[in-house]
Amino acid sequence: MNWLNGVYLVLSLGVLCRSHGAGVHCADHASGAGTTPSTTDRCAAGWCGCQRPAWPLQQSRAGEPATGAAGASVAAMVLGGDGRIGGAADHKRDQAYSAQEVDAVLALRPQRLGDVPKRLEAVRAFSVLPEAPALAAANKRIGNILKKALDVDAHVSEILLHEAAEKALFATMQALVPQADAQLNAGDYTGSLQTLAGLRAPVDAFFNDVMVNAEQMDLRLNRHGLLKTLHVAMNRLADLSRLAS
C-alpha cells in the first residue's frame, strides 16, 4: 500500500476513536484500562493504542471512501491546508464541511492531497446555490442511466438532436463547459462549479421533455452520449451525486 492509499484508508474510516468532537474513546479508554499519556495523545489525534474504532465503521459504497458524521473532522485532522498528512491547521475551519461534501470530494480520490481543501471549499460554495439540489439529483439519475447503458461513448451528433430540449441542453453545454474547464484549469474551482450551475434549467427541461431511452437506437445512443458528456463535465472536481438527499 503506498502512502496515498494509506491516507485514503484513514479518510474512509469515517469515524475514529477520538477524545474530542464526539467525545468517545475506544472501549479500553472509556473504561480507563491501559490508558497512558502516550496512548491518550494518540487517541486525541484520532488513533488509540488498541487501534480500534469507537463504533462500527461505515461504508458508503463498495470499494469507495466512506464518511460518517465525523468524516469532515477526520479529513481535517489528516489534511492540513498544505496537504501534509496529520496537519491540523485547518481543522477548525473544515469542521463546517458536511459529510456529503467530504464524500463528494473523496469519491474521486484526488491525486494531489493539497487540492482537497480547495475542492471542499468549492463544493461547499456550490451546495448552497439554489441550483445545487436539482443538479445533484440529476447527476445521480444520469449516473444510474449510464450504469445500465454500460459502455457509453461521450460523443454527440448534432444531426441526431431532434427535440428542442436536447438541442437547448447541448447548446448550453457548448457555451458553459469550456468556460468551466478553463476556470478549473486555472485553479478557480469555486468559479468552475458556479458556472456549471447554469446548466440547471436545460437539464430539468431535458428530463421533462425528452425520452432518454428512445426506441430508435441511434437517438438513444446519442442521448446517452449527451448525458455522458454532461456527467464528465459536472464531475471533474467532485462526485456531485453525493450531495443528493
- Structure confidence by residue, pLDDT tens digits, 105-134: 999 999 888 889 999 999 999 999 999 999
Q: Is residue 127 part of a domain?
A: no
Average pLDDT value for residue range 97-102? 92
Distance, CA of 156 to CA of 174 (rounded, Å): 11
Burial classification of residue 15, based on how many CB atoms lie within 10 Å of its CB (0-12 exposed, 13-18 middle, 19 or more buried):
buried
**pLDDT for the residue numbered 192:** 97
DSSP E strand boundaries for 46-171: none
**pLDDT for the residue numbered 245:** 76
Cell of 18: 477520538
Q: Is residue 88 part of a domain?
A: yes
> Do 106 and 166 lie in a common domain?
no
pLDDT of 73 over the 60 cut: no
**pLDDT for the residue numbered 13:** 45
Distance, CA of 108 to CA of 182 (rounded, Å): 20
What is this structure's pTM? 0.66
Average pLDDT value for residue range 199-208? 97
Domain that holds residue 161: 132-243
Helix axis angle for 71-78 and 3-12, nearest 10°, is: 150
- Quickly state the pLDDT bin for 16 (edges 50, 70, 90): very low
Q: Is residue 84 part of a domain?
A: yes
If we measure between CA atoms, which residue out of 162, 107, 137, 90 comes closest to residue 243?
137
> Do 140 and 87 lie in a common domain?
no
**pLDDT for the residue numbered 113:** 86
If we measure between CA atoms, which residue out of 164, 176, 152 comes closest to residue 227?
152
